[in-house]
A and B are shown apart, each in its own frame.
Chain A
Amino acid sequence: AQSVTQLGSHVSVSEGALVLLRCNYSSSVPPYLFWYVQYPNQGLQLLLKYTTGATLVKGINGFEAEFKKSETSFHLTKPSAHMSDAAEYFCAVRIDNAGGTSYGKLTFGQGTILTVHP
């Protein structure tokens, strides 16, 4: 079975500071990993995804994440925070059934609320 754990339910940074949101996963098969962002009163939007290949993945709005198999991590970073980055961020891993099928199902972490101070 696959699962993800997000470390820190709340992260607060100053505008212009580095953003680091932590995600660790558990998977018995090569994982497919995603980061989504949720702005208030909206649905989730995809930031980036890792499937295979390059371990450093670039996404929208200046975010990137690095897949580290040895650490079972997929942390999300952004060099310089903007006020508009304030939102809730979710890490997710694709669920694989015993037969190797997925149907695109995901299991999500608990979410991290990012606050950006002026």
Chain B
Amino acid sequence: NAGVTQTPKFRILKIGQSMTLQCTQDMNHNYMYWYRQDPGMGLKLIYYSVGAGITDKGEVPNGYNVSRSTTEDFPLRLELAAPSQTSVYFCASSYPADSNQPQHFGDGTRLSIL
């Protein structure tokens, strides 16, 4: 059982470039989330989705976009990369029947923008 899989694991971008961070889960979870983690700041919620076709903004959505065409996949897109988006990005998923179910995390994508 793979759980939550994120690709790529590492990436270096130039300012102004775009890229898509991929996230897929095989647990049939309806809820999915994107976070960014910066040193000493904990994790901040960027976007979340409660099911295919339904997404909503989290705490820090500016500069990012998401889509959810299937239950399994929840990609995060950076359109115009900026140095402030250098961070570690985590995707997570959870089962919705009880919203107190724990979130399952991927291993992260480490992104540097130079």
Contacts and interface: CB of A to CB of B under 8 A. Distances in A.
Interface residues of A, number: 23
Interface residues of B, number: 26
Interface stretch (A13-21, A61-69, A70-78, A106-114): A106-114
A41 B99 contact: no
Secondary structure class of chain A's binding surface, majority of residues: loop
Interface of A: 9, 32, 34, 41-46, 49, 51, 90, 94, 102-111
Contacts of A94: 99-100
Contacts, number: 60
Contact of A110 (B40, B45, B90, B105): B40
A103 B40 CA distance: 26
B99 A108 contact: no
B100 A45 contact: no
A90 B100 CA distance: 17
Interface of B: 4, 31, 33, 40-45, 48, 50, 58-59, 90, 92, 94, 96, 99-103, 105-108
Given A44-B105, A104-B94, 17 more contacts: A32-B100, A44-B92, A46-B102, A46-B103, A49-B102, A90-B42, A90-B43, A94-B99, A102-B99, A103-B50, A104-B31, A104-B33, A104-B101, A108-B43, A110-B40, A111-B40, A111-B42
B106 A43 contact: yes
